Amino acid sequence: MKSIFRHVAIIGKYQTVASGAFSRNALEDVAQFLHAQGCEVAFEHDTAHNMGISGYPVLSVADIGEQCDLGLVVGGDGTMLGIGRQLARFGVPLIGINQGRLGFITDLPYESFTSKLEPMLGGEFEEDHRSLIHAKVMRDGHCVFDALAMNDVVVNRGATAGMVELRVEVDGHFVANQRADGLIIATPTGSTAYSLSAGGPLLHPSIPGWVLVPIASHTLSNRSIVLANAAEIAIEVVAGRDASASFDTQSLASLLHGDRIVVTRSDHHVRFLHPKGWSYFDTLRRKLHWNEGVA
């Protein structure tokens, strides 16, 4: 079975030096497999440079978006989050081969990637679209920081003791002033990440919503709330020292009193491809160890 994808880009995890030799060999194994399936193979620039891979064309992320019809991500969910945000505007579908720990969105085990990937390259796959958050930090009426997030936007208190006080609005309507360690706005994809650790609910990826989750709220009656992702959410820093906002934990903005973090739904979404028969519930059972010990 030959691939329906003509030009495939490989994006790998390269930040961990200790795993360098294994990761390089894994990436080259994937490249050779793709070539055998009739694909034209290229490597993302930083992946090739940092892993010492040669003998293949090297492309920037923008070039991948314009020239390739599939991105193959070899790494963990963090690697997928980073490239997913960058390629979303191009509409390039992504397949993830998991070399990380959890693998909620990189779901092909490296040990069996050939048996899973071959039919997918032939057109046997499930397609899954994930929404993105577009967030801006507004200061004195001006945008001082602009970012996309696939998992979440988190407003945190500083490292010193004490809570942060945040004013929350939805579509211009006042919701509450919250005193807490912070506040999470998570997508359905991010509902299995920090939001889950803070007591938030799981959201199925097909739900057009966000979840707003307080972190260690001072008021015990403050609870998570699910909001339509068509809404605009604004969080204003009222009090607290050294507050910051993080976006998928991969970019960070320092905040001042009066700053507003304005969150809307991005016009773009990330396209994931999964093996035929894939189910979100299978992923939850496997990754969260549901049903273990049940006869």
Q: What residues are labeled active site? A: 77
153, 185 in Cβ contact below 8 A? yes
Angle at the Cα of 36 from the Cα atoms of 30 and 38, rounded to 5 degrees: 110
CA distances from 209 to 156, 225, 227, 230, 239 (A): 22, 10, 5, 8, 28
Burial class of residue 18 (count of CB atoms within 10 Å of its CB; 0-12, 13-18, 19+): exposed
d(CA 219, CA 221) in angstroms, rounded, equals: 5
Count of helix runs (H) and strand runs (E) in the chain: 7, 18
150, 189 in Cβ contact below 8 A? yes
On the CB side of 75, CA atoms within 13 Å amount to 23
**What distance, in Å, lies between the first and last C-alpha atoms of the chain?**
39
